[in-house]
Structure 1
Amino acid sequence: MIEEHVGEFVSLVFMAFALGMDAFSVSLGMGMQLIRLKRIAYIGIVIGVFHMIMPFIGIMLGKAISGQIGDVTVFIGSLLLIVIGTQMFFSAFNHEAKKIIQPTGIGLILFAISVSLDSFSVGLSLGMSGVKTFIALLLFGGASMVLTWAGMILGKKVHGFLGVYSEMLGGAILCVFGLLLLFN
């Protein structure tokens, strides 16, 4: 019983890290702008909040769907994680120049939504599998907030080297958890 809870917690920690890697990679580029530390702190908090709101909506919707269609939900949830992870992995190879959104006002909201959309889909699949909602949301929000801060601060020193590799790592982690959910 305890092993199951520890295993679920460890899985959620890795999943939170994988979801936060998208925010980390985008924050690297944004960190290359001249942004004060106070602003970086605020941006990280906003990203963390959105990484809690989006999966919450997904988890609630996933729980509602799982009650309707039963055993198929674990299969659908695992496939969703695999698809999201694959898309995240291969999007790292898209070398087109991305426009950097200014991290103020509506630009910050759009930035927060764009990096937390994948967490909605992950929340949907987690809701279907019956995960502990509160713990998942805290981990997702906390990891994305810290990774956003780290990305923006590192972005001042690193010029794009880690961005592609962090998205690839995050995508690979999501794929592995999708496969684990599928075959367990």
Structure 2
Amino acid sequence: MFDVSAAATGQILTIILMAIALGMDAFSLGVGIGLKGVRLLDILKLSSIIALFHVLMPLGGMITGQYVSGLLGGIATSAAGALLLLLGGHMVYSSIRGGAVHSFDHRTIWGMLVFSVSVSIDSFSVGVSLGMFSAHVLLTVLMFGLFGGLMSVLGLMIGRRASRSMGGYGEALGGVILFAFGLLFLV
């Protein structure tokens, strides 16, 4: 006999674990940006936008469903990896060049959108896959948003605290972290 409550509990635990896994991108990005130096208000704004994208992207993926799941999985991961490589490389370059180059500004709306999309795009392909399995849509997107936001706050706070003791090397280290995660996405 099949226990319905055990199946529901298993599905909820699976969704939470997936939300944590997808939130790790936001965490790593947060550490990288936090090492660059970030104000508390910027942490709140950036984390809120990341949480919103962690809701919208899988929702869009779930709506898209099975039509493009095979095609999109690799493309989304590759695009996120390339974007993180570019952002990380630019941060390292700007820290080496000092004031001679304009660094990517995470405080502008454009900067926040680029960072949010870069860590949320894999949520879209996961949403496409979940759409095929009829996962509970509201629970799934709310968990993804919650953990995406929380993980980004945690990463930003850790990076912010570490940047105080690292001085000028914080931005370079943050860029190296983003670059490394970009390579992991592409490999």
Q: TM-score, normalised by structure 1?
A: 0.70
Cα distance change on mapping 1:97 and 1:53 into 2, 3 Å:
closer
Aligned to 1:156, what secondary structure does the other structure show? helix
CA–CA separation in structure 2 for the residues paired with 1:98 and 1:16: 27
Question: In the aligned structure 1, how far is the partner of 2:47 from the partner of 2:88?
Answer: 23
Letter in 1 for 2:161: K
Q: Deviations over 1:115-138 (max 9, x none)?
A: 111000000001011100000000
Q: What CA distance in whole angstroms lies between the structure 2 residues aligned with 1:142 and 1:117? A: 16
Counterparts in 2 of 1:52 and 1:97: CA distance versus 1, 3 Å: closer
1:125 aligned to 2:129? yes
Contact 2:38 2:160 in 1 (8 A): no
Alignment of structure 1 residues 1-150 onto 2, 5 Å:
1-62=4-65, 65=67, 80=73, 97-100=88-91, 101-103=104-106, 104-150=108-154
Write the distance in 2 (CA, Å) between the matches of 1:4 and 1:53. Answer: 26
Task: List gaps (5 residues or longer) in structure 2.
Answer: 92-103, 163-169
| CA deviation after TM superposition for structure 1 residue 98, in Å | 2.7
Identity %, equivalent residues: 31
Contact 2:62 2:131 in 1 (8 A): yes
Matched with 1:181 is: none
**Cα distance between partner residues in 2 of 1:133 and 1:99:** 37
- Please list the CA deviations of residues 117-169 of structure 1 after superposition, one character each: whole Å capped at 9, or x if unmatched: 100000000101110000000000000100000001101234659x58x96xx
In the alignment, the residues of structure 2 paired with residue 29 and residue 111 of structure 1 have an alpha-carbon distance, to the nearest angstrom, of: 11
1:114 Cα deviation (Å)?
1.1
Matched residues in 2 for 1:152 and 1:99: separation?
19
Which residue of the partner structure matches residue 96 of structure 2?
A: none
Aligned to 1:154: 158
Structure 1, unpaired ranges of 5+:
67-72, 172-184
CA–CA separation in structure 1 for the residues paired with 2:117 and 2:11? 26
| 2-structure distance, mates of 1:10, 1:109 | 30
Greater Rg, structure 1 or structure 2?
2
Q: 1:99 Cα deviation (Å)? A: 2.5
